[in-house]
């Protein structure tokens, strides 16, 4: 005879951790995780020989992306995402869905920047675009999961 253990305990623990923390705190933790993962991705690309020099649209020449630049970029741009998440938690009828749709659309739009970066190697453009997706893949699901526990 075999005994079956319910699988709901792990789900309760996971949702409990996220649902008991303030949205802003989950946002900060998700941002830090996203920044670390994105910087690690960039360091692997750098070690693989991808040139880390990029130019902004309108710039005359490319500038080096420093070590830690991806980390700082994720921190900087995630502030807007945290503010959005807090506002949606307060006022949106379906905050998790609204947050997910909005951030996926913004991530898709952010891919245009690397694509049009002048004086930038194609391999660097690909790494820059992929880094946007990597950061979003870490940050967005964590915040969306927290927003799915908002009580009305």
What CA–CA distances, in Å, run from 3 to 8, 11, 15, 57, 85?
A: 15, 20, 25, 63, 42
Query: Is the per-residue pLDDT at 15 higher than 70?
Result: no
Q: Which pLDDT score is estimated for 151?
A: 77
Domain ranges of the chain: 18-147
Neighbours of 143 (CB within 10 A): 31
> Is the pLDDT at 13 greater than 50, yes or no?
no
- What does the pLDDT read at residue 152? 65
CA–CA separation, 100 vs 138, rounded Å?
A: 12
**How much is the pLDDT for 58?**
81
Is the pLDDT assigned to residue 7 strictly greater than 80? Answer: no
- 3-class SS letters over 93-107: CCHHHHHHHHHHHHH
Q: 0.75 exceeded by the pTM?
A: yes
Please tell me the distance from the alpha carbon of residue 32 to that of residue 37, in angstroms, as a whole number: 9
Judge contact between 131 and 41, C-beta under 8 A: yes
Sign of the Cα torsion 62, 46, 71, 89 reads positive
Percentage of the chain lying above the pLDDT 70 cut: 88
């Amino acid at each position: 005879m075999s005994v079956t253990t319910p699988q709901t305990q792990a789900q309760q623990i996971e949702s409990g951790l996220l649902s008991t923390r303030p949205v802003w705190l989950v946002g900060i933790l998700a941002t830090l995780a996203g920044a670390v993962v994105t910087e690690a991705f960039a360091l692997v690309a750098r070690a693989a020989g991808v040139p880390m020099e990029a130019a902004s649209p309108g710039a005359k020449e490319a500038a080096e992306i420093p070590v830690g630049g991806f980390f700082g970029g994720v921190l900087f741009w995630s502030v807007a995402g945290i503010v959005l998440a807090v506002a949606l938690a307060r006022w949106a009828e379906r905050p998790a869905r609204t947050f997910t749709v909005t951030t996926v659309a913004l991530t898709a739009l952010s891919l245009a920047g690397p694509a049009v970066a002048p004086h930038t190697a194609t391999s660097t453009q690909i790494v820059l675009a992929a880094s946007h997706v990597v950061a979003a893949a870490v940050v967005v699901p964590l915040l969306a999961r927290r927003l799915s526990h908002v009580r009305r």
